[in-house]
Amino acid sequence: MSRIHRNALKLLLSVLISNWLFACNAIDQNSLAPGIAYIAPVGNPPADTIVWSPKTSNNILVTAGDLGYGRAQVHILDIETGKMKLLAKTNYGDIWGEAWLPDGKEIVLLVSGATKGFSQSGLWILNTETNKMEYIIEKSGAAVVLPDSNTLAILTVDLASTQHPRQISISLADIQTKKTEVIYTNQEATTYLGLSLSSSGRFLVFSLQFDNTDTDNLYILDVQTKNVIQLTSDGGSTFPQWSP
């Protein structure tokens, strides 16, 4: 079995575990199944996404969005104490906590729309200790941080051209210089549903959706060679997470 196929097997197991973990948000704390621990209230708006801290197993980055009303909040949740630290919020416009930088102190925020406190849409870095915010790049989409801590991999829907008015792309963006390099494009897919980076930093896994909503499948991109393989073909595969 090749290394990439062994990685694929680990990924599939991780997808199952990740889906189970996310399902916990909808469980009544008074009627939990054995083995499931209630962490904290999901709040109002409800929790959308969670991202584990790279430095401590106690903290997760929680994004909560009120669908249809343009309100959003980003917190750090300590799963041992249940305490939540509010990092950013908006009464109009959307904001998501996308990723942690390896130091565990800074996070990548995706801002969309007229979000209070942010001068423009795109990707921002927020220092969780000083609350200092730095604008990174206008390109907006799912983002992960490569191991060098200075490069973002960004998966986004682009307005490409009159011939291809919509395309999916993956770009590498240098946090310091703001320069970007497109390493993958797909002009047939209509949207994406998740992006995750392998612990080695070499492989990106993501889900693409086409016109048929049952065609959500996983793809793996080798960041070094730019080669892509399709991992699943039966549909229904979304929001994958690599095992650490």
| 1-27+141-244 and 40-139 agree in CATH topology | yes
Q: What is the mean pLDDT of residues 38-61?
A: 76
Domain ranges of the chain: 1-27+141-244, 40-139
Q: Which CATH superfamily is domain 40-139 in?
A: TolB, C-terminal domain (2.120.10.30)
CA 208, 66, 218: angle at the middle one, nearest 5? Answer: 15
pLDDT digits (tens, 9 = 90+) for 69-91: 667 888 899 988 888 888 888 77
Task: Place 229 in a pLDDT band, splitting at 50, 70 and 90.
Answer: very high
Mean pLDDT of the chain: 79
pTM: 0.73
CATH class for the domain made up of 1-27+141-244: mainly beta
- What's the per-residue H, E or C state across 67-95? CCCCEEEEEEEECCCCCEEEEEEECCCEE
How many percent of the chain have pLDDT more than 70?
A: 75
pLDDT (average), residues 20-42: 58
What letters, b where the CB count within 10 A reaches 16 and e where it falls short, cover 96-120? bbbbbbeeeebbbbbbbeebeebee
pLDDT tens across 92-143, in order? Answer: 777 888 889 988 899 998 887 767 677 788 888 999 888 888 888 887 788 9
pLDDT bin (cut points 50, 70, 90) of residue 17 is very low
CA distance 231 to 221: 10
Whole-number Å distance between alpha carbons of 164 and 157: 12
